[in-house]
């Protein structure tokens, strides 16, 4: 049975605060300590994650597959760069709940300099749909996770996630990443 917004918010409250009380203190917030401990447990799954990336590489031979996992986020993240590296499809598996998401990022360049980006959290452009479907299918089969519906992911929450503050913070930020455009 899928988790509700309230259940997901309850999970997120274990790892994020609604204030910046600990920002300038030498000790870490209890929520941050819990998140570090959760990452320690989940990093034991790295072999499974790397095997997943190897399989993804076989299924998407025309794409460059990357690992965008960082413990600053709350998810394992993979990236499938289209030839030319101007478009990337990203798959995220949350460490907080048994959910995943797949989204796209399109980069704009002026010569060799990246000058902008557009993030597609919901409806992907046609050229991103096939790799997104492959990533979604592989995530579900490998990690036994469910897609987090876009409407649920965009639920606003009263928590601070990295530099995202209410009213701009969503379940997406808490469950996956506060900076979807930052891939590596």
Q: What is the largest CA-CA distance in the chain?
A: 49
Q: Report, as an integer, the average pLDDT of 27-44.
A: 98
Beta strands in the chain (DSSP E): 64-67, 75-81, 87-94, 99-110, 113-120, 146-147
Provide the phi-psi class of 86: left if phi over 0, else alpha when psi is between -120 and 50, else beta.
alpha
Q: What is the pLDDT of residue 184?
A: 61
* pLDDT reading at 84 higher than 90: no
Give the range among 9-13, 50-54, 90-94, 111-115 with minimum mean pLDDT.
111-115
d(CA 132, CA 127): 9
Tens digits of per-residue pLDDT, 153-178?
Answer: 999 999 999 989 999 999 999 999 99
| 3-class DSSP assignment, residue 52 | helix
Q: What is the pLDDT of residue 2?
A: 87
């Amino acid at each position: 049975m899928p988790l509700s917004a309230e259940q997901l918010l309850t999970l997120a409250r274990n790892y994020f605060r609604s204030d910046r009380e600990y920002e300038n203190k030498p000790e870490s917030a209890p929520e941050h300590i819990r998140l570090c401990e959760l990452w320690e447990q989940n990093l034991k799954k790295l072999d499974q994650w790397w095997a997943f990336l190897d399989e993804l590489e076989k299924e998407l031979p025309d794409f460059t597959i990357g690992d965008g996992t960082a413990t600053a986020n709350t998810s394992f993240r993979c990236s499938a760069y289209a030839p030319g590296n101007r478009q990337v499809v990203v798959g995220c598996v949350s460490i907080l709940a048994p959910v995943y998401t797949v989204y796209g990022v399109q980069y704009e360049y002026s010569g060799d300099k990246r000058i902008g980006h557009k993030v597609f959290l919901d409806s992907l452009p046609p050229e991103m749909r096939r790799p997104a479907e492959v990533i979604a299918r592989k995530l579900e089969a490998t990690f036994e996770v469910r897609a987090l519906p876009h409407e649920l992911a965009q639920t606003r929450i009263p928590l601070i996630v990295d530099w995202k503050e209410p009213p701009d913070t969503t379940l997406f930020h808490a469950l996956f990443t506060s900076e979807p455009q930052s891939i590596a």
